[in-house]
Amino acid sequence: MVVARSNNSISPTEDFFESRLLQKTSGIDSPGALKWDLALILLFCWILVYFCLWKGPKLTGKVVYFTVTFPYLVLLVLLIRGLTLPGAVNGILYFIVPRWELLLNANVWVNAAAQTFNSLGIAFGGIITMSSYNKRNNRILKDVLAIGLLDAFTCVLAGFAIFSILGYLAHNQGKDVHDVVKEGPGLVFIIYPEAFTSMPVSPLISVLFFLMLITLGIDSQFASVEVIVTTIQDHFSLQVKKYLKRKEILVLLVCLISFLCGLPNVTQGGIYFFQLIDNFSSAMSLMYLAFFEVIAITWIYGARRLAKDVEMMTGVRPNIFFVVCWYVFSPLLILGIWIFSLVQYTPFSMAGYEYPGWAIGLGWFLAALSIVCIPAGMIHAVLNSKGQSLWQKFLNALKPVSEEETTTMTSYTKERDVEDVRYNGSTRATKFQEEHHEYPNGSPVKPLSYTKV
């Protein structure tokens, strides 16, 4: 059945989402009142994250078995159901047929980079943090290839599942697929529920779909929180042990502060603040961080030295293709997209709503909070390095950590990792444990060897 609507009318799902659920205000300058129902849901989600993380990676790994596999089952159900609906072919063709003229649009490249960075977790720190719990001789190349291929497969699978249902919705409303596609939360909370209402067993499909979104969101938070907790433990281990005593208290504080930071998003005008943060933190900041990470590791530390380190740990030397990518392709590609986006920069807007100047300034300020960590860290490293002059300090700060300096780190590292083994069941092997052949999982690995500088 096709329902004729006036140009000013909205669908029931859109009316429910914007007028009843969000009680959306006129703009970001009218934040409105706190939505207590959404605030309680936000609190529940952070409580769930806390209890999944408080005992460390061992418990988190068990939870991830469900949060990772369940979305694949739901995507397969949605894909199979979507392919049986009329109009699904049009939606899939819209998804896979390229429109080459859009390659000249900087937003396409920025959004593609943001999608890749977010789906793979690049520049978030999560990959580095989680991999620190692997065995020292873990075959990293196999993991990298598996993660990359699985991520690409997941994106294609999700695309087919999503656009098959969008094609059905367009067919049902007598529109082109382009006319029913929405960006941001509108796709999830407006378009999809509207499509589900006309399907058989729509309540079951809706429950599975939104349960999948919950598991994906919580799963993403695991890595983010673990990055913060591990960083604080590494850099302020003595203070954490003195004042907090246990890792569980540190995780609680991180989750509590994160919950408080999320409260502006659940006000009546919170959707504007949410979209502002998403725009300024998900693309530009990540590319900035990734670019300087690549420069620091491949050009300052050295790609050849990194390749030797990988060979020393795994027994397999990386292919020359990887070294060339580290040296040339990765930094140039990131820098090119970054410059391209700055050249074609346009003020951020949301579904026709133009953000005021102060809001755009706030967005750049929030983006700068993550960006400023790099120059701040550089200044801290230079000031704390050895040398008589500032130039000598600068040169020494660029050198890898020597064997002599690493020995000063072993005492607190051993304490933290022994605590990880006691409370978390972690299999992380520290520098101290490897040098003294003390392994938390009993597996023998080669002792560390450090490069003299």
Distances (CA, A) of 172 to 97, 199, 285: 22, 11, 40
pLDDT tens for residues 187-198? 788 888 888 887
Establish whether 119 is an annotated binding residue.
Answer: yes
Distances (CA, A) of 119 to 114, 151, 335: 8, 7, 20
The whole domain housing 65 covers 32-268
Distances (CA, A) of 148 to 121, 325, 398: 11, 15, 31
Query: Which whole number is the average pLDDT over 362-378?
Result: 86
* Residue 132 maps to a domain: yes
Question: Are the beta carbons of 46 and 255 closer than 8 angstroms?
Answer: yes
Percent of the chain with pLDDT over 90: 11
Count of domains observed in the chain: 1
Establish whether 220 is an annotated binding residue.
Answer: yes
DSSP annotation of 401 reads: P
Alpha helices in 265-351 (DSSP H): 270-281, 284-294, 303-314, 320-324, 330-343
* Residue 276 maps to a domain: no
Question: Are the beta carbons of 286 and 123 closer than 8 angstroms?
Answer: yes
CA 137, 140, 144: angle at the middle one, nearest 5?
165
What rounded mean pLDDT belongs to the chain? 80
414 has a pLDDT exceeding 60: no
d(CA 366, CA 96): 35
pLDDT tens for residues 120-163? 888 888 888 888 878 888 888 888 888 889 989 999 999 999 89
* Residue 356 maps to a domain: no
Helices 140-173 and 303-314, axial angle in degrees (round to 10) = 100
SS3 354: strand
Tell me what pLDDT residue 452 has. Answer: 30
* Residue 399 maps to a domain: no
* Residue 345 maps to a domain: no
* Residue 122 maps to a domain: yes
DSSP annotation of 267 reads: B
Establish whether 260 is an annotated binding residue.
Answer: no
| Of 77, 310, 95, 101, nearest in space to 199 by CA | 77
What DSSP assignment string belongs to 201-220?
THHHHHHHHHHHHHHHHHHH
Establish whether 176 is an annotated binding residue.
Answer: no
* Residue 390 maps to a domain: no
Give, for 59, the enclosing helix (H) or strand (E): helix 57-83
Phi, psi of 179 (to 5 degrees): -80, -15
Helices 57-83 and 202-235, axial angle in degrees (round to 10) = 150
Give, for 379, the enclosing helix (H) or strand (E): helix 373-383
Tell me what pLDDT residue 9 has. Answer: 59
d(CA 32, CA 273): 12
> Whole-prediction pTM value?
0.76
40 has a pLDDT exceeding 90: yes
Tell me what pLDDT residue 41 has. Answer: 92
* Residue 24 maps to a domain: no
